[in-house]
Amino acid sequence: MKLTKESLKDKVYNLIKERIFKKEYHLNETLVIARLTEELQVSNSPIREALSHLSSEGLVNFEGSSKYKVVNLSEEKLIEINEAVLILLNGGFETCLEENKTELLVQLLDSAYQEHKKIYDNDEEFDYKYIETSLNFDRQIVVASGNTCLINLFEYMFPMLVLASVYNKKTYKEKHMEEHSMILQSVKDKDPDRTRELLKLHFYKDLTSMNFDI
């Protein structure tokens, strides 16, 4: 595969990230810069830049000697990811309550829910693109808050959240759809305690939630 010169580092970045999300690169797999250079027929500079970017997002770790390794998803790591995201969503939700933005929140959640429902009803594959659409529902809670720090932190966490969700058991396709419906209804009903309870449930994951078979 030969990449064109235009936006090389972005193309390499997107290609490697897609391969990670599609499980073409497995968890804990070593990525050697020299091999990628040969395969993609580009210099090592855009590959190093792309891997450095992926490292900043937590998707790969630098191993030294021109090698990176795809992260592993231990139970501790899964808990950390979900706890961090839950803190951001709770912060966004509380901001919406305090600043009377619940009507905006309903509008944004409803729109994102309809997009999620559309791909669910079409029985689209439970892959990373499906998951990104599903997670866009959760994103709206921080978007509605208007707090740029919360929004930026959520975007920083998003790639790791996608990766963790890619390895969810297939039953979570139905589970996420059902939970989104309940979260949306609780916000419409102006029942904040129920919303908080549902968000906590929605982001409770451990190794029993995962399927690491390729």
Residue range 41-95, pLDDT digits in tens: 999 999 999 999 999 999 999 998 899 999 999 888 888 999 999 999 999 999 9
Locate CATH 1.10.10.10 in the chain. 8-70
- What stretches in the chain show pLDDT beneath 70? 1-6, 213-214
Q: Does residue 13 contact residue 45 with C-beta atoms inside 8 Å?
A: no
Q: According to the model, what pLDDT value does residue 110 have?
A: 99
**32, β-bridge pairs:** 67
Q: According to the model, what pLDDT value does residue 188 have?
A: 98
Homologous superfamily of the 75-209 domain (CATH): GntR ligand-binding domain-like (1.20.120.530)
Q: According to the model, what pLDDT value does residue 211 have?
A: 79
Locate CATH 1.20.120.530 in the chain. 75-209
Q: Give me the DSSP letters along 8-41.
A: HHHHHHHHHHHHHHTTSSPTT-EEEHHHHHHHHT
The whole-model pTM stands at 0.90
Q: Which has the closest alpha carbon to 136: 60, 208, 120, 149? A: 120
The verdict on domain 8-70 having CATH code 1.10.357.10 is: no
Q: According to the model, what pLDDT value does residue 170 have?
A: 83
* C-alpha to C-alpha distances, 12 to 29, 54, 168, nearest whole angstrom: 17, 10, 26
